[in-house]
Structure 1
Amino acid sequence: MSAEPGTVRPGGRTARVRAAVLRAAGDVLAEHGFAHLDLADVARRAEVGKTTVYRRWGSVTGLVADLLADMAEQSLPREDTGTVLGDLRANARLVQRTLADPRQGALFRAVIAAATCDERTAEALRRFYDIRVAEWAPCVQQGVARGELPPETDAEEVVRAVSAPLYYALLTTGTPPAPAAADRAARAAFAAAAAGVYATT
């Protein structure tokens, strides 16, 4: 059975083609939004044949799904500062820098907007965040083991609580969050977790 378009992980020359196409797709999303993402235009920008793009990704949503998968793969690994608060601050600062980046911030806004009306894009976006949350959840689990947080603390919910206010600020004000907002989000999530807000029992 053939793989679903946009899910193949090729190597060699095809890996270079994939990288060029995904870079071009990200550029279009950042510059013009999801509504203007067109496979033929992406192929032209990537200097790749249209047939190759249509055959491999099949649709705009297939291309976005693969772009998000690639972004998850390329994301920086979590930091280990030795404390929960330090780790959560590092996570918040990473999110803040991403959203404040002119290209990355615009790209995320475009994908989030598309996810509200396209289920495949929404699924791809959920997978992206599942991967990122799973990457950072161990910092909370280690904090529990060190006695910094109550037992049965839901690690994934704590990580989500760090990012949530940063995304909310971006989407509701149109202004990228500042480093101070990242630190505030980390402190708030840590304080809530330490108070048992995210304990499952």
Structure 2
Amino acid sequence: MIEDTSGPGTVRPGGRTARVREAVLRAAGDALVERGFGGVDLAEVARRAGVGKTTVYRRWGTVPGLVADMLAEMAESSQPRADTGSFAADLAALAALIRETLTDERQGPLFKAVIATATGDAGTAAALHRFYRTRIEEWSPCVDRAVDRGEVPEGTDAAEVIRFLSAPLYYRLLASGDPLDAGTAQRAAAATAAAAREGVFVTAR
């Protein structure tokens, strides 16, 4: 059994605390995918993770707390933004990354479960919103650099560009059930780049 005797928020990268967090969040993710939010039990998560029950209750306290930390960990471990020197290529890299994540055999179902939970739990919804703000902030400089290079107009709203690119990919994952293939990602990136060049996302001049 992995036991953690440190207090909440004390993280030693590569140490026991990091291993405990990794094991607990993986176990929580597995339970969420298998049973949904209502079926996640902290004691069961502790058993699956091989850690003491008191550790899970002390560090996370509630299931929404676990989900919030899971999303924080996903944001921390996501790939950094591309810097290809081309606006269109940067967007293509982002679209490919989103598609790869959403079609991953673990990450795809996990995102579905978290999003479904967020529709009925305010804490999970807030954590999900933080996750996407973090990812938008990570990739927005791609748009800012494109403005500096003269590829898109001044005043282009970088966050809105990232949202526009992401939307059709999430639509296929969550609503239509249509294939989420490489061609879909490429078209989303190309359409977003074309719209940005035309000034569709300009909010100030």
Give TM class, smaller chain: over 0.9
- Partner residue, 1:26: 29
C-alpha separation between the residues in 2 aligned to 1:111 and 1:123?
11
Gaps of 5+ in 1: 1-6
The Cα shift of 1:81 comes to 1.4
Cα offsets for 1:149-191 (capped at 9, x unmatched):
0110001110111111100111113355111110111111111
The residue type equivalent to 2:167 in the other structure is: A
Partner SS state of residue 106, structure 2: helix
The Cα shift of 1:9 comes to 4.9
Q: Which moved more, 1:167-176 or 1:137-146?
A: 167-176
Cα offsets for 1:108-159 (capped at 9, x unmatched):
0000011111111011001111111111101111001111001100011101
2:92 matches 1:95: no
2:156 matches 1:153: yes
Give yes or no for contact 1:28–1:36 (8 Å, CA) kept in 2. yes
- Partner residue, 2:117: 114
C-alpha separation between the residues in 1 aligned to 2:105 and 2:31?
13
- Partner residue, 1:169: 172
C-alpha separation between the residues in 2 aligned to 1:9 and 1:168?
38
- Partner residue, 1:185: 188
2:200 matches 1:197: yes
Partner SS state of residue 19, structure 1: helix
- Partner residue, 2:75: 72
- Partner residue, 2:4: none
Give yes or no for contact 1:31–1:106 (8 Å, CA) kept in 2. no
Partner SS state of residue 148, structure 1: coil
C-alpha separation between the residues in 2 aligned to 1:109 and 1:178?
17
The residue type equivalent to 2:20 in the other structure is: V
Any residues of structure 2 matched to 1:31-46 within 5 Å, and which? Answer: 31-46=34-49
- Partner residue, 2:52: 49
Cα offsets for 1:47-88 (capped at 9, x unmatched):
011111111100000000000001100001011111111000
The residue type equivalent to 1:142 in the other structure is: R
C-alpha separation between the residues in 1 aligned to 2:54 and 2:142?
45
Gaps of 5+ in 2: 1-7
C-alpha separation between the residues in 2 aligned to 1:49 and 1:173?
42
- With normalisation by structure 1, the TM-score equals 0.93
- Partner residue, 2:9: 8
The alignment's C-alpha RMSD in Å is 1.3
Give yes or no for contact 1:33–1:107 (8 Å, CA) kept in 2. no
